Structure formats: C-alpha cells, structure tokens
Chain A
Amino acid sequence: MSTEAPGPAAPSDALLSVRDLSVVYEPAGADPTFAVENVSFDLRRGEFVGLVGESGSGKSTLGFALTRLSKPPARISHGRILFDGRDIASIDSEALREQRQGGFAMVLQSGMNALNPVRSIRNHFFDVFKAHGHVPHDRREQRARDLIGKVELPAATLDRFPGELSGGMRQRVSIALALSLEPQLMVFDEPTTALDVLVQHAVMNTIRDLQKSEGFTAVLISHDLGIVLEATERVLVMHEGVIVEDGPSSQILSNPSADYTRMLLSHYADPRAEIVSLPGFEDRSIRRDQGVSRSALASPEHAPTVVTRSISTAQESIVVKGVSKTYPPPRRGEQPVRAVRDVSFTLEPGQSLALVGQSGSGKSTIAKMITGVEKPSEGSISFGGLDVAKLRRGQLRDLHSNVQMVFQDPYAALNPLHTIEYTLMRPVVNFTGLKGDDARHRVRELLDTVGLTPVEQFAAKLPHELSGGQRQRVVIARALASDPQVIIADEPVSMLDVSLRAGVLALLEDLREKWGVSLLYITHDLLSARLITDNIMVLHDGAVVERGETAEVLQRPTDAYTVALLDAVPNPARAHGAT
C-alpha cells in the first residue's frame, strides 16, 4: 500500500481518528462481505476531505461506520473510532444519540428519500430541536428559518411536505437538517449523485460555502473524482474496502501515487478542451481531418475480434419534423407538461448525433417517440417509408427491427432469470427468422462482436454473473441482434463506473463505424458526447437551443444555457491551479 502509514497516535488537532477499522456484512443465508478492511486515518478540525472510489468500494459503509449508523447485517468487526478523543465504536445507544448534537452528522447518499414523506419540513426541524433541546422553544421557528436560508431556500419551504419539493431542494433540506445539529463533523455521502447537472453544481457550491463559513470538518464521499478534486483539500482513495491513497488534492491531481488513482484520473478530461483524448479514444476534432483508421480501437477490457459477417449499412434516415409532446397534467389543477416543443432534426444514415440537456429537458421523450412508444402531439416522425406515429402493433415490430434501444441501466435491462443466450436468442428468432443452430450461431457472433469471449462461456451465464460493463455489452449485443439501422442509446453509461465507461463508449463508437448504423446518443454527460458524436443538439425545456458539430459547440457555445451546462462540469484544474 502506498498510503502514508498513519502512526498509532493521532495528531493533537485530530477531530476523528480511525484505527484499523473493519466492517463486515453478515446477511442471513449468504456469505459475509468484508466491505471495509483495516482502515486507519485522521481528520483534523475544519478539514474538507474527499473519499473517492468506485461503486461498491466501501465508501458508504465507511461513512456509516464513522457516524455509527451501521445497521445489521453490517457490523463493525474490528477497530476504534476516536471522536474528540472518545471511542464511539462502542458507546451505548443513548450516549450516542446525545453525541449527535454538536458531534457528527451525515447526509445520506439517497438524499431524495431521506425525508419523512408525511411530515412537513418544519416538523423535521422541530423534531431535531426537541430531541436534543439545544434550541429554546421560542427560538425554534427563527432557527429553522435561518437554517433553511443557509441552504438558499425560501422560508416558505418549511410549510411544504417532502413530496412537494424537487430533488435538489430535498437534498438542501437534508443538509440544513444535518446543520441544525451544529455538528463538528459532517459526512456527505454522494450528496449530488441523484441530482441534475446544474442542480448538482449549485448544491456543491452551497456545501463548499457552508463548510467555509461554518467551519465544520467535512467528508465528501463521491465516485466522481472531478467533483472531489474540485471541492476538497485532501482526498482518500478507496478500492475494495481499502484506502489506497491519502493525500492533498493538488498532489493527487498532479502526481497520483496509486495505480488505481492514476486509472481514475486517466478517464477524466474537460469536454471544453481543444483536444480531448482518453485511453482508447483519439480526439474527434482532428480525426476527421486526418482520416485515421480506427480499427486499432480497443477497449481496456476486451478487444472485439474482427467480425466476419457482411454488414449492412444504414440506408434510411429518421426525419423528425416540428414535433411536440404534451403530457396531460400530472395532478388536478396543474398545467399540462410540454415535454418537447417543436423539435425538428434529421438523423442521416451512419450519423452520430448527441442529444444533451439537463434532466427533464425532453431527451427521453424524443427517444420514446422515435421508437413508437409514445405518440407525438404534433408534428411527424418518419423512418424510411414508415410514419412512426401511426404504426399499429405489428408494424411496430418492423420498426423495432430497424430501430433499437440501448438502455441506461444494464442492471435493470436484463431479466435476471434468463441466460445471456436466451436474452440474445429472442430478438434473433423474432426478427431474423433464424432458428435452432443458425440462431445459436448468430448469438455467438453477436457475443463475439461485443467482445464477450470466450463466447460459449458467456452464452451460458446469467446476468448476475457479469460485471456492469459486461452486462452493458450484452444489452448492446441485443440491440444489434435484429441488424438495425438506428441505435438509440439513452444514457448508456451513466450507471457505470468510470473504469467501465470508456470501454462501452469505445465499443459503441466502433460498432457504429463498422456496422454503419446511425446513433442517437442521449446524455447529460458532455464529455462522452464529445468523445463519440459528430453532431450535437442541446435541449432546454423541450426545445432545441443550440446545435452544431460537437467539438465546435462545446468549445464555443453561443447559448447561455449551453454555457451554464458547461460551467457545471467540475474543473479541478481550475480549483487547484494546476494543469
């Protein structure tokens, strides 16, 4: 381990000293998981520390242990947690409860659900005040208003119920609630993951400002190295339950010592840069001019072998003309939702088009209309000779044989009960008419195409035996099974860890090139759009606000909204003054 070995004695200004902490999950009827192993570190007062690592690396588990919130089946199996010199790993529950005021607080990963849906926000605050009695009765209202103000919410929010607030507002309320405890230590577990890009940016700014003004010690848990590096002074890097690197942010940015950290860093780039290159990708803006052959493209995981079958190239284009979609009002007395407003574009055969915009901007709705799942309220969509809006069920199948989807969440997109072979066999049988051994052969080809070799082994597997990246490859293979002309990928990598993302993106890019399919790539992640698309369209409130060549738009945005989007992309280099 390349970590600077923490000495047995904590530094004198340490607020929290963790020594040899191990946490194990012991679920009934399953094998135990050692989620955190022998972790030691110290936190000084007023420090802002980041904790990064991939999904499942044990970040949340550690966060819960630090704040003594671990619940069965989790168990602190070993180690000490000294908070202000007192070992909180073993104090009883009432003492612990009292410690929570003026001690340590936590803002949960799924902050959206952290509020009791049936209690008003005001009551949430009052509950905390009542539990600890640290705010006198007559000052409670004022205090609640102060707190809610601190997270930049209007006082009227106090009268609302959680269900009436947006995700970002709810996350702010949880932060305010945690603040109301006047804690010395605050642990933020992925406070912005579930939030929209722009909101994410705003909430992070609030957290940073609060940390500065209130002076508490903060731990920011995130899988996004960019966010952590931008916000914090010191970073702990976690990998498989172990802290592999612990150092100042600027040092990690410029000179990472652990291989794992280096790997994480290598997948990070600024989409606004002149030249964007990641392992496995070459910069797109220069590719066109130089016409470089991209056959050498390889994902870090599996290099697809050369595909032998003859490949059809897309011939039809998708033409979207003046399309609008209005959903009926979600509740009585509200306005109808205008999800898409007068959008027109053409997806030429073989083209790759990015559709970007914040959450709710109508990206998925457009995808649904193109695939016939939803009907446009106005305008027309055509694919070749088909008028997509007027298809009946049988014709919808024809459409699906040409227009396929790659789903966002590879964990949810595969039926856990079917083998990979079955999953891929279905579209093959349904669309190509192949049967028996021919179909099986085709499935093997598909697996080969997406680089899942040895194919025989993968064919027999069940989804839970695959990694996220492998699953996404299966999802892509399924989309290819009908030999489609168009692939619509709706945030195909947003659920994947950094280390897997690049591989999947590279695969998509490669397939498009090789198979000549058109790609509609939907994302809020500008970096990936920059990597694999030629053209881009920026959606805002259902309307297109900017369009053009991807590199051009991202480097020189003209619309204010696009500028805001780009600003929200974390920029650690800017924060730490390094390049």
Chain B
Amino acid sequence: NEVVVYSSEDKIFSEPVLKAFEKKTGIAVRAIYDTEEAKSTGLLHRLLAERENPQADVFWCGDPVRPALLETKGVTTSYYSPIAKEIPENYKDEGGHWTGFSARARVILYNTDLVSMDEKPLSIFDLVKPEWRNQVAIANPLFGTTALHMAALFIVSGDEEAKKFLNDLKRNGIKIVSSNGEVKRLVSRGEVKAGITDTDDANVAILDNYPVKIVFPDKDGIGTLIMPNTVCLIKNGPNQENGKKLIDYLLSREVEKKLAWDMCAQMPLRYDVETPAHVFSINAITGMNVDYHNVAKKMEEINGFLKQWAGF
C-alpha cells in the first residue's frame, strides 16, 4: 500500500507535504527528489527512460511546461481530479494530463545595500539601462523556470522585441549563471545589484536575512510569469489508485495553504486561501497572460537562439 512520487519541487518544501499525506491516509509515500545541480531535469530523464516500465505513479513538477513535454512523449495519462474544479481553468491541462496548484512567480531580486528604494527596477526592461551595467544576474535561459520565462516573454512581446531585449541585456553585461539559486546567492552577497529569479529562491534569501527585496516586475505592463506547481499521473504506474489519491491531496486547499506558509512562499491559485503578509495571492499581482502549451512550443522554437545567446 504505497505510492511512488517523483518530485522536482525542492525537497525541503515537498517532503513535509508528502509526510502529511502519509499521516493522513496511511499510504506509504516513496519519493525521489531532484537536485539543483542537475537543473531538476534528472527526474525528467528518469521518467523518459523508464517509459517502457514506469516506476513512478505521480510526478510533482515545479512548473507547468515539462508535463507538457511528458505528455507529448506519452509518459503521462489524463486524470481529472474532482477537487481540481476549484483551480482556475488556465492553470489546468484540458487534456487532464496535468493540473496546477500553488504557484511561483518570476521576480527581480535586488540588494538593498546597493540599491535604494527609489532606484529599484520596476520592469525587467529597466535592466538594459546603463546604471545596471554588469550588475544583473540571470540563470542560464536554457534551463528551468528561466527558460519558461523567456518563452513567455517571446510570446507576449513578440519575437523581435524579445530578441532585441535579450541582446540589449547581453550588451549591458548581464551575468549568466548556472541557476536561480546562484542568482539569489550573487544578489544576496552583493556580487551584483539585482537579478531575475523565482519567488521561492528570493524568499529563502529574505528569511536568511540577507539585505534583499523582491519586485514583481511590470505590474502595469506585460506582467510577470506565474508558474504553478503541477502534478500529473504517470501512465501504467504501479499504483494508479494511490497515485490519484495523492494527486487529490496535493491539489487540496490544505496543501496550498501549507506551501504558502512554508519558506517557499508559494502563492495559492485559490483566491480564498489566507496567506502570510509577504505572500501575495495570484490576483494581487499581474501575471503574463499565456497558455502554457504555447510556452512549451515556444521553448522548442527559441532555445536554438537562446543557446547561442547564452554562449553555448
């Protein structure tokens, strides 16, 4: 009586949730977590390689795009969780292959020792300005959430715009680092003034009480990218039923709340889950208006460009 879950959400956030599920249902959860070093793609490879003879039942993914990939490779199967009705439509796959829940967003993290309140960037487009020369860090746009962010950006502001923007950033000496964690590290240590990263990384930096603050960019412009966690059911997993149970649990209000109050400060997709002061709820910030399937497609298109942009 067990369920096997692969989680590419950071272990320290996801493990407590799964433990809670264990306690609640008495179903033993056997989890495998991913590592930052491998850009959280290790599990993806594992899922793909195990396709012939799946070992996992559930894949808890940190973003809504990789499930799309799995779907196309025929790793996942569709499951409409009853409880998912409470989740807004655009955070769900109409095919039922994945369902989103509490979300992260892309933010600008800046170091308050080096940047005063009124100099702080309000839009990612500010970062091409000369005063930010050599003072901005971003994770390698080929991987992880940054890749999503770029793809989304290309969609909302058109390829030409986006390409130009990126090239300007490059010209402005932006530092391309290995991961969002790195961005966080550099900003909080004051190696650079600001960087583009995820809410959870940013929040941890704050809790480690480094002199950093968050900006949700382009509030009154294109908005920033919101990335729900997603969960999907693996085709022919060993314990389908328990898998579904776990999915139902993960999508529950309870979990969204837990994740909101945890260090990762994930934003509930439900409007009526109460959150700590520093955690906005979705409606409080302007999200980019994109369809994640398109984002997935867009990534395919542009990562050639990004590859040479990032110098690989």
**A and B: partners?**
no
**Chain A residues proximal to chain B, CB less than 8 Å:** none
**Chain B residues proximal to chain A, CB less than 8 Å:** none
